[in-house]
Amino acid sequence: MNNLKILVLITTVLLLSSCNSDEDKVKEISKEGSIETVISVEHLDSIHDILLTTNKVWIKGNEYKSIVHSDTIPFLGTTSQEAENSDGATQNVYLKKDYEVYITVK
């Protein structure tokens, strides 16, 4: 478990350091020896969302291992927003609220 925490920490640091400018952003992941981490939230139903964390371990161009964690979390509800169609007409629409994802590295 400690190795996984260290790998996620290293990946997070690398991801955060790549966000300084557009030219520093990674366009393609090196698959020779890297860990790819994806965090997402999917809407499940009217009262639940699912938090998914996926870690892919790449070694010599092959996916060695994929580790997926999923947790059920509360649905945040909906919000109203004014939307405009291609004709310029506006109306209120209801959208599902999304979680904001923050990563803290210590």
pLDDT tens per residue across span 2-40: 556 565 556 665 565 555 555 556 788 889 999 888 899
- Rg, C-alpha atoms of the chain: 18
The confidence band for 86, taking pLDDT boundaries of 50, 70 and 90, is confident
The confidence band for 85, taking pLDDT boundaries of 50, 70 and 90, is confident
* Sequence-separated (6 or more) residues with CB below 8 Å from residue 62: 31
For residue 105, pLDDT over 90 is answered with no
* Sequence-separated (6 or more) residues with CB below 8 Å from residue 98: 41, 76
pTM exceeds cut of 0.75: no
pLDDT value for 62: 95
Burial of 49 (C-beta count, 10 Å sphere; 0-12/13-18/19+): buried
